[in-house]
Structure 1
Amino acid sequence: MQYLNNFDYAIISLYFLILIGIGLYLKKRASENLQEYFLAGNKMPWWALGVTGMGWSLDAVGTMLITSLLFLLGPRGLFIEFRGGANLALIFMMIWTGKWHRRSNCMTGAEWMTYRFGDGAGGKFARAASAIAQIAFSLGMLAYMAKGVGLFFSMFVPISPFACSVITIGIAAIYTISSGWYGVVFSDIFQSVLITAGIIFVVVKASLAIPDADSLHNLAIQITGVKEWASAVPQIHAAMPKAYEMYESLFMFTVFLVLKNIVAGFSSGGEPHYFAARNERECGKLTCLWACLLTMRWPMMMGFAILGLFLVKDLFADSESLMQAAELIKVHLGAVGKNQWPDALAGIINSPEKYSPDLISGLREIIGPDWAGKLPLLSYEGTINAERILPAVLLSKIPSGMRGLMMITLIAAEMSTFSATMNKTTALFTRDIYQKFLRPKASHKELLAAIYIFSVSLIIIAFLFAYTSKSINDIWGWIMMGLGSGLAVPLVLRLYWWRFNGSGFALGMTAGLLGALVQRTFWPQLHESWQFVILTSIPAVFSIIGTYLSKPTDNEVLENFYRTTRPFGFWGPYKNILPPDAREATRIENRNDLIALPFGLCWIISMFMMPLTAMAMNFRALAAAFIVFMIGVAGLYKFWYKNLPPEPSKETGSGK
């Protein structure tokens, strides 16, 4: 089995030491108070928060997963990643939901519930339910990272996927817990330089490997069996490989995902980046930069996918050998399940002397004398494990030294996502549960201790969840289409319907969370489209029931919310509380925001698609995407950018 060499390990070790050093250096500044720890005192410029947003959205596990989809489907893999990897909700946050949340001057999305519903029984119920539900969502994200990071890094070192997860996430936890939001921002700026260098290298290397368009397309068809590999159109019925049959109705699945993104987008905006922004104008600017920087990941992932096609061609003469090897392993290992498959392969590779000689000799005969180097690419179904294409390419197609840099690029992406998720989750627990309900008079020292203890506990639970899951695609699909759908409806209603109250929100969130957990426990194989339909319907019903079973939110709270947030939607009873000039300005602002939305969606989708079609050498699709992109740019400039709020003067400060 081929692993990294000492030079690669030295580069990675230096990177880890720098990260830990950043965390320890910033520890004192972050520990001054909760505002400093969780939001860096609202001192960070918009471009730094935009870089942090990109770092939050780009992770090694997601990169590995999306690379597998692009390897199997070409540019159409983008449509499946409308689940979350291609974050269309950024448009809604850029245009209006980000600034709406910033106007509250709150610290967390759960604290915002007090601003919206008041501090009575309903508001407290809503705040607690929001905190618990968001912590559950973050737990799913951390489990997804724990599962994927083990699968990824175990291909580079002679230890199991579980041990790799423990080491990598342990190091990330050290600097994240030490430095809070300061550590997130400063480490992301440092890591963005590394990520950019890695992206450029992969794109150039993949481009040089392609002889011509016809050769690439023929190779892709030969390896994947998908005739429409270079297409950028979601077909009504698309050929899918084993374990991906759920996406055969690709067009309808894409429609569901766009609908899901609209629901999620209307409910978005409660991210720490917006609470940490200096003013509402910077909320829009940081999100625009976030989306533009996130575009860079797509040509890198397509580059890895293309290099993966050439790698599989070199390693495996035919697909029949893969099926035979998988069956042989199942015969010798007995009741090994799909969720234990990666660890079982790692055991065979790293300790072949512990297994039957017949198994080892059989593998050598079926897939060749270098069987140990090929085995990580074997899936449970007896096909290519596309989720491991990226690490396999790193080992086989990237030279020493540069391979260490690429590893750092992907580790940096993972660390960024992990640190931002941990910071957000610990803020919810400390601010909205521990300090609000359990220990209102807790000292700052006690709150820091609560942060440390909760962080460690959260990581342990995430590991338990991760290693009962079959694959990272399995976890990611449930997070985005199951759990995410279950929580979305109450988050939408809180912004656009005045009568919606804290009880309705809490009951809807509880129903959505429990529904998602029940589905995951008893019907884990439920198609993602049905997860979306069922798990948005249940909380919608309970939200409305809870709303009408209790009285409306206090009028004083609603008036303050409407005056400061100025949302559109069903706010008829409160629109007249604004002075005539403010009412007209709000009407124009809301109108422009809604008109800008379709232009924004065209802009971001085409911006993500253009580098994919360019790398796949589908130049007709590239030209079409470019035309859509320019239409989106023109619409956004007219209806969004020109109407951004002015920069606040030094006298008024950086608040609203």
Structure 2
Amino acid sequence: MLQGLDILIILLYLTGTILIGLALRKRAHKSKDDYLMGGKSLPWYTMGLSNASGMFDISGTMWLVTLTFVYGFKSIWIPWLWPVFNQVFLMVYLSAWLRRSNVTTGAEWILFRFDSGRGGRWSHAIIVVFAILSCLGFLAYGFIGLGKFVEIFIPWEIVSTYSPFDIPAAYLPHFYGIIFTLFAVFYSVLGGMSGIVWTDVLQYGIMTVSSIVIAVIAWQAMGENTLNVPEGWLNPFFDWELNMDWSGIIIEVNSKIVSDGYSLFGIFFMLMVFKGILSSIAGPAPNYDMQKILSTKSPLEAAKMSAFSIAALIPTRYLMVGGFSILGILFYEDLKLSTAGVIDFEKVLPAAIEQFVPVGLLGLLLAGLLAAFMSTFAGTLNAAQAYIVNDIYLKYKNPLASSSKIKLMNYSSGIVVVLISIVLGFFVQDVNSILQWIVSALYGSYVVSNVLKWHWWRFNGEGYFWGMLAGIIPALVFPIFTDTLDLYYFPIILLISIAGSIIGTYSAPPTNKKVLKDFYKNTRPWGFWGPIHRDITAEDPNFTRNNGFSRDMINVVVGTLGQTLLVVIPLYLILHETLPMLVCIAILIVCIIFLKMNWWDHIKKEPNIKNK
């Protein structure tokens, strides 16, 4: 139950976000680039903090706390579904490749790669459809997580006395989601990218303080209590089967494990890594992540931003995730996890906050977590607006629109997207179900076309269009007719998409040679670019091929190891496991030194890396 001081802190925070939106409104409306990209003038470290804050979302944090509570150290692998290591691929080479294009959105990048002929137009259209679907999915995911979260702190019994209508218990999360969504809409629609970034920096500060406080509370509780968990909970390694039995401890968790579908953990892990590597090589999906890369000052700053995002996000987030998971297990009997008589383990995070966080700090933490929701929501909304305004309105409807018309379109498109996402949110059962669909089914449709676009010269716009369409249709249809983990039909979506890509590619001539040469010279990808490379070297004998594939892949492996160590170190710290923590820190230092020599010392010398 919230006290007066907590409510005051939350209101001050929400007021602050509105003031930031109003303060940056004038600057945001100088031009389209100022609104959608902050004028490409924001420093890499503020962009990195903004990116970290945007990924520190409330639904994702609820999901991670539930995973850690249920699966213990084995939960460190499950976020590879996303995959979390895509940030390592971005850091090592993909951020720089993407930023060299100097475009405004992912859909504009498609024209940079495929030209503006029929193939370019088709591929441009399908990526806009995917981008808007992706943004709507993420907005619904954030919306349902926020509603579940707020429901615990503001009981309907209190609100109902002031409400003119009655709301069924099943729809309370949706009601609360709508209320807090409106604040996020206000500052993101008014302030554009600058408003989002500077609000994110404020949010990151709040989240860091909150994470440290929670970790300290959990660390102290561990010193006074014994952690009663199943065998294997403290071990990150696994066999073909999960073999985790909560019987005699918290027997209801066994039902959660069955419903999640992770029991055959070895097969799940192999599929997850396979999908994760392909998704990472494909590059960022056209959402707030890509938007922030395109908004950096230069390719080198884009790479630095991605590296800093990893360092800023993971230790801070896992201090909070580990702290709440461990407090939840230690004091499980004190948590209020049921809704309409059914135990909901996705409520471990808000229930633990209500139970263990003292007055004053509770207001700060709630402000931080509301901030996390608003950050993700605002960033995703900004990306959706960019696609609607840039890639539909200005391209097809009104290319010569005045600033006032563009401003009106930014506002109205943002409001329409929010309304659609709220409607979708009413059909979502829980955070896990929408997350599984986004990362396994929807992103499965994205993989093939977006791997081939970087690495195969013959791949054209028609191939891109048919590959994406062949993936998107089953991604939308399969969940209606199948009742299984979305990851398990990823290989089927992949095969259908491969067939669509190959057939589509050979149904049309190659992309214009001039476009391919411009793309190859500017982006400098490795892959199957032999004919284009020969044409360029015939004109410019000094042009050199990018031979960095092996080095990049080694750096990705080392970077992913380092990223995983950043996850387990906070967990070992809270659990008083000093020796494993020190071993992990030592390995992490070796990873950092290796990346300094094999990544940083090379990337800063690359051609075009510092160009604005």
TM-score (normalizing by structure 2): 0.91
CA distance in 2, matches of 1:566, 1:112: 15
CA distance in 1, matches of 2:356, 2:609: 52
**Distance change (3 Å), C-alpha of 1:632 and 1:252:** farther
CA distance in 1, matches of 2:319, 2:211: 8
- The Cα RMSD (Å) is 2.0
CA distance in 2, matches of 1:89, 1:647: 22
Residue correspondence of structure 1 range 352-501 to structure 2 within 5 A: 374=336, 377-378=337-338, 382=342, 384-501=343-460
What is aligned with 1:236?
240
Deviation at 1:42? 0.7
CA distance in 2, matches of 1:63, 1:626: 24
More deviation, 409-418/241-250: 241-250
Deviation at 1:610? 2.1
Q: Does the aligned pair in 2 maintain the 1:75–1:616 contact within 8 Å? A: no
**Distance change (3 Å), C-alpha of 1:568 and 1:468:** same
Residue correspondence of structure 1 range 2-401 to structure 2 within 5 A: 3-84=1-82, 87-159=84-156, 160-211=172-223, 216-217=226-227, 219=228, 221=229, 226-238=230-242, 239=244, 241-245=254-258, 246-269=261-284, 271-295=290-314, 296-314=316-334, 374=336, 377-378=337-338, 382=342, 384-401=343-360
Gaps of 5+ in 2: 157-171, 246-253
CA distance in 1, matches of 2:5, 2:236: 40
CA distance in 2, matches of 1:557, 1:251: 44
State which of 501, 504, 507 in structure 2 corresponds to 1:549.
507
CA distance in 1, matches of 2:410, 2:257: 40
What is aligned with 1:321?
none
CA distance in 2, matches of 1:6, 1:23: 26
For residues 97-117 of structure 1, give each alpha carbon's deviation from its aligned partner in whole angstroms, at most 9, with x where no partner exists. Answer: 111111111000110001000
Letter in 2 for 1:118: D
CA distance in 1, matches of 2:485, 2:63: 18
Q: Does the aligned pair in 1 maintain the 2:86–2:280 contact within 8 Å? A: yes
- Verify: 1:644 aligned to 2:580, yes or no: no
What is aligned with 2:522?
564
CA distance in 2, matches of 1:621, 1:548: 54
Deviation at 1:439? 2.1
Q: Does the aligned pair in 2 maintain the 1:29–1:36 contact within 8 Å? A: yes
**Distance change (3 Å), C-alpha of 1:255 and 1:620:** farther
CA distance in 2, matches of 1:182, 1:537: 41
Q: Counterpart of 2:73 in 1: which secondary structure?
A: helix
Q: Does the aligned pair in 2 maintain the 1:176–1:184 contact within 8 Å? A: yes
CA distance in 2, matches of 1:566, 1:15: 45
Deviation at 1:633? 2.0
For residues 630-652 of structure 1, give each alpha carbon's deviation from its aligned partner in whole angstroms, at most 9, with x where no partner exists. Answer: 4422331221111122599xxx9
TM-score (normalizing by structure 1): 0.85
What is aligned with 1:583?
544
Letter in 1 for 2:47: L
CA distance in 1, matches of 2:575, 2:238: 16
Q: Does the aligned pair in 2 maintain the 1:242–1:381 contact within 8 Å? A: no
CA distance in 2, matches of 1:653, 1:307: 46
For residues 39-87 of structure 1, give each alpha carbon's deviation from its aligned partner in whole angstroms, at most 9, with x where no partner exists. Answer: 1111011101101110111111111111011111112112111122x61
Say how many residue pairs are matched: 578
Deviation at 1:314? 4.1
**Distance change (3 Å), C-alpha of 1:503 and 1:279:** same
CA distance in 1, matches of 2:113, 2:300: 22
Q: Does the aligned pair in 2 maintain the 1:27–1:179 contact within 8 Å? A: yes
Letter in 2 for 1:237: E
**Distance change (3 Å), C-alpha of 1:189 and 1:416:** same
For residues 516-544 of structure 1, give each alpha carbon's deviation from its aligned partner in whole angstroms, at most 9, with x where no partner exists. Answer: 11012222x22233132122222111011
Q: Does the aligned pair in 1 maintain the 2:51–2:292 contact within 8 Å? A: yes
Q: Counterpart of 1:155 in 2: which secondary structure?
A: helix
Identity score, percent: 30
Q: Does the aligned pair in 2 maintain the 1:105–1:655 contact within 8 Å? A: no
Gaps of 5+ in 1: 316-373
CA distance in 2, matches of 1:637, 1:537: 38
For residues 89-142 of structure 1, give each alpha carbon's deviation from its aligned partner in whole angstroms, at most 9, with x where no partner exists. Answer: 001111111111111110001100010000111111111111110110111111
Q: Does the aligned pair in 1 maintain the 2:62–2:348 contact within 8 Å? A: yes
CA distance in 2, matches of 1:526, 1:34: 44
Letter in 1 for 2:67: L
Deviation at 1:614? 3.1
Q: Counterpart of 1:582 in 2: which secondary structure?
A: coil
CA distance in 1, matches of 2:461, 2:281: 18
Q: Does the aligned pair in 1 maintain the 2:436–2:487 contact within 8 Å? A: no
Q: Does the aligned pair in 2 maintain the 1:83–1:481 contact within 8 Å? A: yes
Q: Counterpart of 1:247 in 2: which secondary structure?
A: coil
**Distance change (3 Å), C-alpha of 1:620 and 1:539:** farther
